[in-house]
Every structure is written in structure tokens, then in C-alpha cells.
Amino acid sequence: MPTTLNRVNVPVAVDAGKCIAEKGCTVCVDVCPLDLLAIDQQTGKAYMKFDECWYCLPCEADCPTQAIHVSIPYLLR
Ligand code: SF4
Ligand code: SF4
């Protein structure tokens, strides 16, 4: 699976101001059934590592700080 080339044009956006991964949270990484999310060791924040989203939404729903927003493509709504 190719890694994301940038972190802007991916469906899963992480608000770095809200993400508390540097305090040990890995909820979104753990709940994603496709293992698409990861913690950036440089920034200490979660990000979308692989752009293969199923839009199943547990990452957004389970994030304890509401740091994640998943943009669902119009055709899937
Ligand atoms: S679940 Fe939320 S707070 Fe935790 S690592 Fe993921 S984005 Fe950050
Ligand atoms: S919506 Fe589902 S597939 Fe997409 S990143 Fe979140 S948990 Fe993973």
C-alpha cells in the first residue's frame, strides 16, 4: 500500500491542537480495521499514513478529544 504523499489531501484530518498522542493515546491507530493511521514520532501526533479509507468512522467516533474529522466523499453519503 503506498503511503500518503502529503497530509492535507487525505480523508482523515487530525487536529494537532487536540490530538494527545504524545501523552500515550493510540485509540485511532488501534481501532482502524485497515491500519491506516499512525503516530508521527517527530510531531507526536496521529496522521493518516495510508490513504485507503473505508469511511467506517470508529477513528472519528472513538477519539477522546474529537481531534479527528473524516471527510466522506459526496458519492458515498
Ligand atoms: S484517538 Fe485522537 S487523541 Fe488519540 S491519537 Fe488518535 S487523534 Fe490523537
Ligand atoms: S474511517 Fe475507518 S478506515 Fe478510515 S481511517 Fe477511520 S477507522 Fe480507518
DSSP per-residue string spanning the chain: -PBPS-SSSSSEEE-TTT--GGGT--HHHHH-TT--EEEETTTTEEEE-B-------HHHHH-TT--EEE---GGG-
In a domain, 6, yes or no: no
Whether 75 has a pLDDT exceeding 70, the answer reads: yes
Q: What is the pLDDT of residues 17-71, one digit of tens each?
A: 999 999 999 999 999 999 999 999 999 999 999 999 999 999 999 999 999 999 9
pLDDT at res. 9: 77
Q: Which residue's alpha carbon is nearest to atom 3 within ligand 1?
A: 19
Report pTM: 0.90
In a domain, 26, yes or no: yes
Point out the ligand 1 atom lying closest to the alpha carbon of residue 29.
6
- In angstroms, the CA 75 to CA 28 distance is 25
The domain of 65 spans 12-70
Whether 76 has a pLDDT exceeding 80, the answer reads: no
CATH code, 52:
3.30.70.20
Instruction: Give the pLDDT band (50/70/90) at residue 73.
Output: confident
